Structure 1
Amino acid sequence: PNRNGINAAFLTMAIGAGMTSAITSPLHAEVMQAVMGADVMMGHDPDCASWIRKYREPSAEGRGRGGRKRRRRRV
């Protein structure tokens, strides 16, 4: 039971031991959260940018970027 919990714990330990890639399902939130957390702790997520982008609470006014949509940069 709870295979995703075991996988999350295993991946966290493996990342700490030096593992750099794994085949996992991005659909398992528990596993993805563990991998992202390990990336933060190991220093692989500069300034915790990916973690913050994924898990921060929305600002009280709504969207944090003033409601503007993100557009592709013109070249």
Structure 2
Amino acid sequence: DRRLVVANKILDTALKAGIPREDVLIDCLVFAVGADTDSGPEVLKAIQRVRDELGLNQTLGASNISFGLPDREVLNTAFLPMIVEKGVTCLITSAKKAIPIVRGIDLILARDKRARRYMEGYRMRQAAAKK
């Protein structure tokens, strides 16, 4: 996969420049499914390989998946849990919409013991709604 080859080159260059591995951030680049229906599965595979083989933090312009299509929010909402589960750690998306979903994902994947962050987010949204 070309994305993994590029990620390896970025990592090698960063390490040679003295940048710590944990500070390297990879973007596997997602392309619109309206232009190429294979782009969803391809980027998901690349994200997982970067996580599993390189162990690097990843970012992604998540809403690019729906570019040019109607009802983009449906696609973006469907895509978000997939990319977080595969390994994206830094999302480029609407924080207001994404944070509750990511907290739910973290709870379901046992990344939020005792549901503390999930419940905190819920209480904050409830308080904001009362204002």
TM-score category of the 2 structures, normalised to the smaller one: 0.5 to 0.7
Report percent identity of matched pairs: 32
Residue type at the aligned position of 2:83: A
Matched-pair contact (CA < 8 Å) for 2:104–2:118 = yes
Relative to its length, the structure with more helix (as a share) is 2
Q: TM-score, normalising length from structure 2?
A: 0.35
Q: Structure 1: 5+ residue runs without aligned partners?
A: 59-75
Spell out the pairing of 1:1-75 with structure 2 (5 A cutoff).
Answer: 1-27=70-96, 29=97, 31-55=98-122
Q: What does residue 19 of structure 2 align with?
A: none
**Structure 2 residue runs without a partner (length 5+):** 1-69
> What root-mean-square deviation, in Å, do the aligned CA atoms of Structure 1 and Structure 2 show?
2.3
Aligned to 1:67: none
Is the CA contact 2:81–2:101 (under 8 Å) kept in the aligned structure 1?
A: yes
How many residues end up aligned between the 2 structures?
56
Query: Which has more strand, going by share of residues?
Result: 2
Greater relative contact order structure (CA < 8 Å, 6+ sep): 1
Closer, same or farther: CA 35–2 of 1 in aligned 2, 3 Å? farther
Q: What is the rounded CA distance, in whole Å, between the counterparts of 2:117 and 2:79 in structure 1?
A: 21
Normalised TM-score (structure 1):
0.55
